[in-house]
């Protein structure tokens, strides 16, 4: 089987003491690679070292921590992405967060920063990975107006009508390894065509077990999706890994 973790945060402190063993377990669990998502300028610099250490296995998608983003940090991240664009497979995660940010002024303030990242993806001709927690509709509207490249809605939890719009637009979604605990995500797994679904752990978060989440757990997501779609794990692994290779242009 060939599996792929399309979105994780392997630079985080949760992994700093045993990253080699985590990567080893991922290989033993049939992963052929993973995309790690940096979420700030410090995280970006740590990730540069990590992808050098694990070439052709760990790839870098560069974005931000959406709910904590400032204009200053946006500028820093954009400069880093421009400088190292050859070593990056996507811009993101970037987007809108209505889960942590509840006031309408704070929510509105995220839009110009999100737009800057959209413009950057256009400038560099890179696909874009979207964080749209509780803001799926607004993020979709902004992307439909501004962006015509490849879009991946990471950890997608939108309502079925937004999932249908995402499918119509030819965009991709990722499902986390514990997605079968969420009604919208189960619905999305059935609405999106299988050739537009990727699997992710979002480790160290969203664990399908009581422990820290790590890339080897992508198997749980593969098994859950095979049950929902009534397909073999082999078929789901093959499709989702192909989709990741296609989306990230590996």
Residues that bind Zn ion (CB under 5 A): 202
CB of 179 to Zn ion, least distance (A): 14
Beta bridge partners of 128: 91, 151
CB of 14 to Zn ion, least distance (A): 13
CB of 33 to Zn ion, least distance (A): 17
Select 123 or 213, whichever has its Cβ closest to Zn ion: 213
Select 212 or 238, whichever has its Cβ closest to Zn ion: 212
In the bound state, the residue with its beta carbon closest to Zn ion is 202
CB of 65 to Zn ion, least distance (A): 9
As a whole number of angstroms, the distance between CA 245 and CA 239 comes to 10
Our measurement of the distance from residue 196's CA atom to the centroid of its chain's CA atoms, rounded to an integer in Å, reads 13
As a whole number of angstroms, the distance between CA 236 and CA 139 comes to 28
Of residues 35, 199, 64, the one with CA closest to residue 131 = 64
Select 73 or 235, whichever has its Cβ closest to Zn ion: 73
Could you tell me the sign of the dihedral formed by the alpha carbons of 153, 159, 162, 164, in that order?
positive
Select 97 or 150, whichever has its Cβ closest to Zn ion: 97
111 to 83, 105, 139: CA distances (angstroms): 24, 10, 9
């Amino acid at each position: 089987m060939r599996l792929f973790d399309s979105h994780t945060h392997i630079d985080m402190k949760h992994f700093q003491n045993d990253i080699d063993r985590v990567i080893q377990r991922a290989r033993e669990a049939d992963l052929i690679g993973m995309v790690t998502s940096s979420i700030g300028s410090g995280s970006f610099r740590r990730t540069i070292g990590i992808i050098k250490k694990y070439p052709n296995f760990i790839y870098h998608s560069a974005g931000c921590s959406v709910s904590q983003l400032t204009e200053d940090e946006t500028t820093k991240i954009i400069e880093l992405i421009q400088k190292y664009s050859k070593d990056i497979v996507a811009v993101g995660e970037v987007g809108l967060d209505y889960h942590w940010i509840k006031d309408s002024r704070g929510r509105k303030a995220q839009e110009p920063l999100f737009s800057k990242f959209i413009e950057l993806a256009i400038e560099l001709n890179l696909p874009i990975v979207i964080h749209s927690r509780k803001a799926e509709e607004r993020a979709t509207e902004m992307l439909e107006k501004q962006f015509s490249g490849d879009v991946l809605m990471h950890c997608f939890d939108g309502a079925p009508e937004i999932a249908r719009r995402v499918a119509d637009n030819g965009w991709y979604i990722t499902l986390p390894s514990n997605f079968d605990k969420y009604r919208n995500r189960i619905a999305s797994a059935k609405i999106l065509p299988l050739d537009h679904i990727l699997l992710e752990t979002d480790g160290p978060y969203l664990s399908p077990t009581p422990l820290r989440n790590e890339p080897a757990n992508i198997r749980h997501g593969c098994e859950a999706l095979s049950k929902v779609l009534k397909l073999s794990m082999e078929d789901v692994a093959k499709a989702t890994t192909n989709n990741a290779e296609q989306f990230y242009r590996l």
